[in-house]
């Protein structure tokens, strides 16, 4: 149902509220792509960041977009974020709020109530399922139930919701009670231009990356992209590399992504397994496409996801053979063995066997990589996804 509200300007104003615009996040990158593609003559899009970060996409936003940072640095409590956001909205009213990521979404719900501003929300992960407790002592059954009850109470007033996959939509509907009829499923898009490397460029990049990380020119590279959180399953990749190194002493694992709750444990496990010469933690990078282009296998051992992983789609576009978890939504991207290899959650031996198979059989790797590439290029581009968002916004605000 469209929002019935008098616009505060000639164009209706939508304020996008997100935790930050850190460069290594899928939700952050999608918002950047959307804001670049939107028709700003129709809707006045604004951005509010709960907190700032040193590695940010802010400088890459269109210059016409106003950006407000509520706190210089994170983390920030949800209550503080809600109060600060409400103060901001009283000074700069909006016709619709769009919250994304946990702190920003909660702040959006509360600020919406305090300022009587309608809100929509992006659902980007299966946030209430028991799998969240695996390998994560910070998430207990009691905390998970409390989180679910809090979300159920505070989300009721939402005008509509967006989910990045049908898996996410079903989870939030079943566990939290969000009506499926209020959820619009819009997948994320990946820019095909990011993989426009010629074979000669790829060879040059491969050599450059190996020099940058002091790798032997003949070393096979297994790359994984994701922040250091229990969800991402990096520990199982490290255990798999420990098995592989017995027969492939020069194998290298390149783990790309920002530090997080698992960082100390991952670095400790790397040392414990004697993998300091085989594992590189590359941190958050803007040149993920370049690193993918230099690699041989993409490993994505995540325990759960929202949309299967933007980085995995990009790896598919690069024609990399994929090893990932055989659970949705990863299986939405890799639905069968003709596109990659699927392993059970937490199966380090399965990861090792799959990687070894792909490194041993180059013809198989090439065939799987090509099938994955063709599948990825049939997926929506960021511009196509942005157009779906625009249509959704217009239907909600009854404009255009």
DSSP string, 341-361: EEE-TT-HHHHHHHHHHHHH-
Name the CA radius of gyration of the chain, rounded.
21
Instruction: State the CATH number of the domain containing residue 56.
Output: 3.40.50.2000
C-beta of residue 86 within 8 angstroms of C-beta of residue 106 = no
β-bridge mates for residue 66, sequence order? 46
Residues 49 and 24 grouped into a single domain: yes
Residues 367 and 352 grouped into a single domain: yes
| Residue 7 domain flag | no
Report CA dihedral (397, 62, 84, 17) to the nearest 10 degrees.
50
| Residue 311 domain flag | yes
Task: Residue 348: give the domain boundaries.
Answer: 192-376
Residues 168 and 299 grouped into a single domain: no
pLDDT category at 3 given cuts 50, 70, 90 is very low
Distance between CA 48 and CA 164 in Å, rounded? 21
Tokens 């990825």 locate to: 376
| Residue 125 domain flag | yes
Residues 144 and 229 grouped into a single domain: no
| Residue 8 domain flag | no
Per-residue pLDDT of 66-96, as tens digits, reads 999 999 999 999 999 999 999 999 999 999 9
Residues 242 and 144 grouped into a single domain: no
pLDDT value at 123 more than 80: yes
Closest listed residue to residue 266, CA positions, set 246, 238, 285: 238
| Residue 116 domain flag | yes
Cα distance from N-terminal residue to C-terminal residue, the chain? 15
Task: Give the SS3 label for residue 277.
Answer: coil
C-beta of residue 125 within 8 angstroms of C-beta of residue 134 = no
Residues 179 and 210 grouped into a single domain: no
Report CA dihedral (99, 105, 107, 111) to the nearest 10 degrees.
50
Residues 138 and 202 grouped into a single domain: no
pLDDT category at 11 given cuts 50, 70, 90 is confident
pLDDT at 77 (0 to 100): 96
H or E segment and range at residue 212:
helix 199-212
Residues 29 and 49 grouped into a single domain: yes
| Residue 43 domain flag | yes
Residues 258 and 364 grouped into a single domain: yes
Closest listed residue to residue 318, CA positions, set 253, 260, 393, 376: 376
Look at the chain and report how many structural domains it folds into: 2
Tokens 């190194």 locate to: 245
pLDDT category at 9 given cuts 50, 70, 90 is low
Residues 98 and 80 grouped into a single domain: yes
| Residue 1 domain flag | no
pLDDT value at 372 more than 80: yes
Per-residue pLDDT of 280-298, as tens digits, reads 999 999 899 999 999 999 9
Residues 230 and 127 grouped into a single domain: no
H or E segment and range at residue 45:
strand 44-51
Q: Which residues contact 388 (CB under 8 A, 6 or more apart)?
A: 186, 380
Distance between CA 285 and CA 88 in Å, rounded? 32
| Residue 368 domain flag | yes
pLDDT at 2 (0 to 100): 41
Residues 183 and 204 grouped into a single domain: no
């Amino acid at each position: 149902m469209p929002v019935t509200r008098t616009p505060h300007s000639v164009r209706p104003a939508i304020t996008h509220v997100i935790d930050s615009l850190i460069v290594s996040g899928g939700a952050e990158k999608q918002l950047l792509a959307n804001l670049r593609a939107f028709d700003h003559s129709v809707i006045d899009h604004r951005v509010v960041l709960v907190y700032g970060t040193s590695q940010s996409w802010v400088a890459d936003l269109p210059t016409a977009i106003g950006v407000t940072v509520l706190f210089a640095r994170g983390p920030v409590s949800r209550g503080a974020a809600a109060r600060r956001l409400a103060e901001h909205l009283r000074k700069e009213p909006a016709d619709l709020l769009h919250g994304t990521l946990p702190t920003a979404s909660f702040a959006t719900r509360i600020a919406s109530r305090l300022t009587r501003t309608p809100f929509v929300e992006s659902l980007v992960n299966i946030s209430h399922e028991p799998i969240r407790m695996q390998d994560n002592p910070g998430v207990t059954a009691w905390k998970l139930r409390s989180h679910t009850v809090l979300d159920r109470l505070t989300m009721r007033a939402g005008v509509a919701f967006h989910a990045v996959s049908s898996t996410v939509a079903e989870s939030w509907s079943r566990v939290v009670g969000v009506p499926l009829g209020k959820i619009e499923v819009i997948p994320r898009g990946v820019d095909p231009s990011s993989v426009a490397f010629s074979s000669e460029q790829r060879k040059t990049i491969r050599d450059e990356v190996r020099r940058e990380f002091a790798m032997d020119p003949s070393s096979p590279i297994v790359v994984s992209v994701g922040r250091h959180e229990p969800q991402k399953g990096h520990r199982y990749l490290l255990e798999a590399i420990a098995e592989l190194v017995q027969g492939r002493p020069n194998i290298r694992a390149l783990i790309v992504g920002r530090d997080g709750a698992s960082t100390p444990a991952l670095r400790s496990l790397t040392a414990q397994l004697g993998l300091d010469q085989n594992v590189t933690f590359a941190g958050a990078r803007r040149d993920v496409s370049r690193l993918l282009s230099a690699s041989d296998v993409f490993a994505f051992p995540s325990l759960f996801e929202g949309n299967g992983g933007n980085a995995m789609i990009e790896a598919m576009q690069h024609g990399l053979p994929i090893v990932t978890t055989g659970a949705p939504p990863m299986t939405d991207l890799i639905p069968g063995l003709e596109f990659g290899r699927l392993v059970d959650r937490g199966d380090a031996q399965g990861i090792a066997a799959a990687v070894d198979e792909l490194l041993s059989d180059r013809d198989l790797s090439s065939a799987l990589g090509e099938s994955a590439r063709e599948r990825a290029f049939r997926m929506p581009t960021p511009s196509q996804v942005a157009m779906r968002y625009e249509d959704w916004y217009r239907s909600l605000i009854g404009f255009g």
